[in-house]
């Protein structure tokens, strides 16, 4: 599907406001705080009343409107007598509670969440067995359990129930092995000791859903939102085989998931279903034999261990930031459920209607005091983020919302964003950083005005260095106008935003926001990136970023171009002969497309006699560890001109001869005069036509 490309132009917001009307409204927000009260010995203190507590929000006293004491059992319940098997009544959703209602009096709420997208069959069996063992031996009379699963979508398998036979029947009915198609494997081409796995990739119908890390976190956030209406404490036990980091995940999604859990009184208890793993340096019988020298130098084992630790890091973050605990490197997976069970002992439910009705998304601090027993230890959440709502803002309000959103700890994730940062050398210590953003057209709302479909989009971003100092900013706005069939096809296409900035080498963090002004949808993308110091690199050939693209668009096809961007086009590395190379941010292509590959070589050696270069380059496609295709060699002999000692390399590779699936693409560059080489890799997904 051919995407629409546009470059934002600076436009003035409409200063004319509609005629004001008189409107009276009252907004109230019920805030639930679960408080555990223990004495010096760690025993729960019971018999307290609402008048014993004082609750403050941002140091302002609040009136307690709901007060409940949840008294929970801790001793396991004897197994019930066997009964005939019955069909599981699988609820399509979690039944919500009305504000102020406590449905589960003296009950402990546990959710068993099975992430089959990350677990291979052996881990699925281990998770299944541990859940059944818990239901057989360790469930208490106070426990009510719900079941959820995630494969390509989130499913509620069972609403909260105490019927352990029904729960066991559902868990034992899992079809092991058929839902592990997204389980993570070592990236192909990551090291020289690769193995031939023969694995094939089955892509989702939308390229934005191929980012597995964000998909898992979004599923967890959706599960949390189902549980938010229940004021009781909830523990979500998350069975997975780790959440890997692909380099394309959005850190804002992790923060959004954690903040949603805090608002909903949900604690994550992740369980690594792999258990205690001792990986052999040469691999085990589950994979093919290693090749190359990495097994002898230790490089292969270091990469495996680093990948394993990265997969556990997200699990630990989810637990630590929501008050739960992660069970890692343990073969008794049921201990993770027991830990969640023990952490939710008797507690008090306090709820109040906030005296601050502003829906500004700001963080509000909560304090709870027990005046009658000042020596008691109180455990409660320290605060929450207020809800956010896009109202009839004027131009000033809209601008302030974007600026404040950069400072909020709770990011906006209503608008899906994919983002790519590249770098090209301008001088010895300065680099040009093109920024490309992709937005699915299906999330853009259009308003019909004077026969034209239009919307307004605004973008703002900040780049900070390793010390947190502001290094660069981006601010743009545009009114997008589409006519005829183009507007009708928007839902099947994507919108691109393109800008750039100049930075020295170093490590940076980018926080970028985009807002669609018809509905107020706002998305956040946050990522870390590094610009290498090529001047300090001597062992290998110096390369820029590699841009992978599927199209060149005429500059005239852009919806609008900012004036400052017009001045930059003369030196933009991706613009040639009035056409711009559009990066494929998601690295998803179709068989009927051509693959464009662009990069630059710096400081290549020149033949003193002929005063020419001798560069050779190819593009290789690997499926697993098998080379599926390699392009014809590209040779460059012309000495570099223009920017400082840069020799551009550009490939155009037809994809029609390749089979659909996932590939690792590698660009190989050899400087035959300087006897140096370099290569760069990137994953690529090829879809049918």
pLDDT tens-digit series, residues 409-420: 778 788 888 889
Q: What is the pLDDT of residue 292?
A: 54
Per-residue confidence band for 203, with pLDDT thresholds at 50, 70 and 90: very low
* Contact criterion met (CB below 8 Å) for 158 and 91: yes
Residues 219-247 pLDDT 10s: 898 899 999 888 888 999 999 888 766 55
* Best mean pLDDT range from 128-132, 255-259, 492-496: 128-132
Average pLDDT over residues 654-662: 90
Select the more confidently predicted residue: 65 or 494: 65
Portion of the chain with pLDDT greater than 90, in percent: 22
- Please, which residues have CB within 8 angstroms of residue 157's CB and are 6 or more apart in sequence? 88, 90, 147, 148, 149, 170
Q: What is the pLDDT of residue 573?
A: 85
Asked if residue 157 has pLDDT above 80, the reply is: yes
Per-residue confidence band for 86, with pLDDT thresholds at 50, 70 and 90: very low
Select the more confidently predicted residue: 550 or 17: 550
Asked if residue 20 has pLDDT above 50, the reply is: no
Asked if residue 658 has pLDDT above 50, the reply is: yes
Per-residue confidence band for 421, with pLDDT thresholds at 50, 70 and 90: very high
User: What tokens were used for 441?
Assistant: 């057209």
Per-residue confidence band for 393, with pLDDT thresholds at 50, 70 and 90: low
Asked if residue 462 has pLDDT above 70, the reply is: yes
Per-residue confidence band for 16, with pLDDT thresholds at 50, 70 and 90: very low
Average pLDDT over the chain, rounded to whole?
79
- Range 94-143+180-344 classified under CATH 3.40.50: yes
Q: What is the pLDDT of residue 425?
A: 92
Residues 598-639 pLDDT 10s: 999 998 888 877 778 889 999 999 987 788 999 999 998 887
Residue 268: count of CB within 10 angstroms of its CB: 27
Please give the full DSSP string across 635-651, using - where no structure is assigned: EE-SPP-SSTTEEEEEE
Asked if residue 18 has pLDDT above 50, the reply is: no
Asked if residue 212 has pLDDT above 70, the reply is: no
Residues 368-389 pLDDT 10s: 998 888 888 888 888 887 776 6
* Contact criterion met (CB below 8 Å) for 515 and 458: yes
Helix or strand (DSSP H, E) at 324? none
Per-residue confidence band for 450, with pLDDT thresholds at 50, 70 and 90: low
Q: What is the pLDDT of residue 509?
A: 93
Residue 348: count of CB within 10 angstroms of its CB: 25
Per-residue confidence band for 428, with pLDDT thresholds at 50, 70 and 90: confident
Among the residue ranges 333-347, 439-453, 653-667, the one predicted with the least confidence is: 439-453
Asked if residue 465 has pLDDT above 90, the reply is: yes
Asked if residue 98 has pLDDT above 90, the reply is: no
Distance CA 658, CA 53 (A): 68
Q: What is the pLDDT of residue 539?
A: 76
Distance CA 532, CA 544 (A): 9
Q: What is the pLDDT of residue 363?
A: 80
Average pLDDT over residues 546-558: 82
Distance, CA of 639 to chain centre: 43
* Best mean pLDDT range from 118-122, 283-287, 350-354, 514-518: 350-354
Q: What is the pLDDT of residue 5?
A: 40
Select the more confidently predicted residue: 268 or 181: 268
Per-residue confidence band for 296, with pLDDT thresholds at 50, 70 and 90: low
Question: Which class for 78: exposed (0-12), middle (13-18), buried (19 or more C-beta within 10 A)?
Answer: exposed
Per-residue confidence band for 279, with pLDDT thresholds at 50, 70 and 90: low
- Please, which residues have CB within 8 angstroms of residue 2's CB and are 6 or more apart in sequence? 493, 551
Per-residue confidence band for 641, with pLDDT thresholds at 50, 70 and 90: low
Distance CA 364, CA 358 (A): 11
Q: What is the pLDDT of residue 407?
A: 76
Q: What is the pLDDT of residue 386?
A: 78
Average pLDDT over residues 112-126: 88
Please give the full DSSP string across 95-124, using - where no structure is assigned: PP--TT---STT-EEEEEEEETTS--HHHH
Nearest to 684 by CA among 545, 589, 620: 589
Asked if residue 189 has pLDDT above 70, the reply is: no
- Please, which residues have CB within 8 angstroms of residue 359's CB and are 6 or more apart in sequence? 27, 386, 387, 388, 389
Asked if residue 275 has pLDDT above 90, the reply is: no
Q: What residues does each domain of the chain span?
A: 94-143+180-344
Residues 43-57 pLDDT 10s: 888 888 888 899 999
Q: For the whole model, what pTM was predicted?
A: 0.66
Distance CA 211, CA 308 (A): 18
Distance CA 501, CA 521 (A): 26
Select the more confidently predicted residue: 168 or 519: 168
Per-residue confidence band for 432, with pLDDT thresholds at 50, 70 and 90: very high
């Amino acid at each position: 599907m051919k995407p629409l490309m546009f470059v934002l132009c600076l436009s003035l917001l409409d200063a004319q406001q509609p005629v004001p009307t008189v409107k009276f409204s009252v907004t109230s927000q019920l805030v639930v705080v679960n408080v555990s009260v223990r004495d010096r010995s760690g025993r729960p203190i019971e018999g307290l009343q609402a008048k014993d507590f004082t609750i403050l929000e941002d140091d302002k006293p609040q009136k307690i409107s709901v007060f409940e004491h949840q008294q929970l059992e801790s001793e396991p319940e004897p197994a019930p007598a066997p009964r005939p098997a019955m069909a599981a009544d699988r609820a399509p959703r979690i039944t919500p509670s009305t504000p102020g209602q406590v449905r589960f009096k003296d009950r402990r709420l546990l959710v068993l969440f099975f992430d089959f997208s990350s677990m291979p069959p052996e881990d699925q069996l281990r998770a299944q067995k541990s859940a059944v063992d818990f239901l057989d031996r360790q469930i208490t009379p106070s426990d009510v359990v719900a079941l959820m699963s995630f494969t390509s979508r989130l499913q509620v398998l069972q609403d909260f129930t105490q019927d352990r036979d029904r729960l066991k029947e559902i868990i034992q009915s899992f079809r092991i092995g058929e839902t592990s198609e997204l389980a993570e494997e070592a990236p192909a081409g990551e090291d020289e000791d690769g193995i031939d796995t023969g694995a094939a990739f089955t892509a989702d119908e939308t390229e934005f859903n191929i980012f597995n890390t964000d998909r898992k976190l979004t599923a967890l956030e959706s599960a949390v939102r189902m549980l938010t209406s229940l004021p009781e404490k909830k523990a979500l036990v998350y069975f997975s085989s780790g959440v890997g980091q692909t380099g394309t995940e959005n850190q804002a999604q992790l923060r959004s998931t954690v903040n949603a859990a805090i608002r909903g009184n949900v604690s994550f208890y992740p369980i690594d279903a792999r258990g205690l793993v001792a990986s052999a340096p040469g691999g085990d019988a589950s994979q093919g034999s290693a090749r190359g020298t990495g097994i002898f130098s230790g490089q292969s084992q270091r990469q495996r261990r680093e990948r394993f630790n990265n997969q556990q890091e997200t699990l630990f973050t989810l637990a630590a930031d929501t008050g739960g605990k992660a069970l890692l490197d343990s073969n008794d997976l049921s201990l993770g459920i027991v830990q969640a069970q023990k952490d939710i002992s008797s507690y008090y439910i306090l709820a109040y209607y906030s005296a601050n009705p502003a829906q500004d998304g700001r963080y509000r601090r909560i304090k709870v005091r027990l005046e009658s027993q000042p020596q008691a230890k109180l455990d409660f959440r320290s605060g929450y983020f207020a809800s956010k709502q896009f109202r009839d803002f004027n131009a000033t309000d809209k601008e302030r919302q974007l600026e404040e959103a950069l400072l909020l700890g709770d990011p906006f994730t209503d608008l899906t964003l994919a983002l790519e940062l590249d770098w090209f050398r301008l001088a010895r210590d300065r680099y040009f950083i093109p920024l490309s953003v992709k937005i699915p057209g299906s999330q853009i709302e259009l308003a019909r005005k004077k026969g034209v479909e239009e919307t307004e989009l605004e973008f703002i971003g900040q780049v900070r260095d390793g010390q947190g100092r502001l290094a660069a900013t981006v601010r743009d706005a545009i009114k997008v106008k589409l006519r005829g069939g183009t507007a009708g096809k928007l839902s099947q296409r994507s919108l691109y935003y393109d800008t750039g900035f100049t930075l020295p080498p170093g490590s940076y963090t980018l926080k970028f926001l985009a807002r669609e002004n018809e509905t107020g949808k706002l998305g956040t993308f946050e990522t870390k990136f590094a610009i290498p110091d090529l001047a300090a690199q001597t062992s290998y050939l110096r390369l820029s970023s590699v841009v992978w693209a599927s199209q060149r668009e005429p500059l005239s096809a852009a919806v609008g171009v900012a004036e400052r961007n017009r001045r930059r086009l003369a030196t933009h590395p991706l613009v040639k002969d009035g056409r711009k190379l559009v990066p494929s941010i998601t690295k998803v292509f179709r068989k009927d497309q051509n693959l464009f590959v662009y990069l630059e070589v710096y400081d290549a050696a020149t033949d003193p006699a002929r005063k020419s270069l001798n560069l050779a380059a190819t593009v290789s496609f690997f499926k697993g560890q098998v080379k599926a295709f390699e392009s014809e060699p590209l040779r460059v002999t012309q000495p570099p001109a223009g920017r400082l000692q840069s020799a551009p390399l550009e490939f155009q590779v037809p994809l029609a001869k390749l089979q659909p699936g996932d590939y690792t693409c590698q660009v190989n560059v050899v400087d035959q005069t300087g006897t140096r080489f370099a290569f760069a890799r990137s994953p690529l997904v090829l879809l049918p036509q």
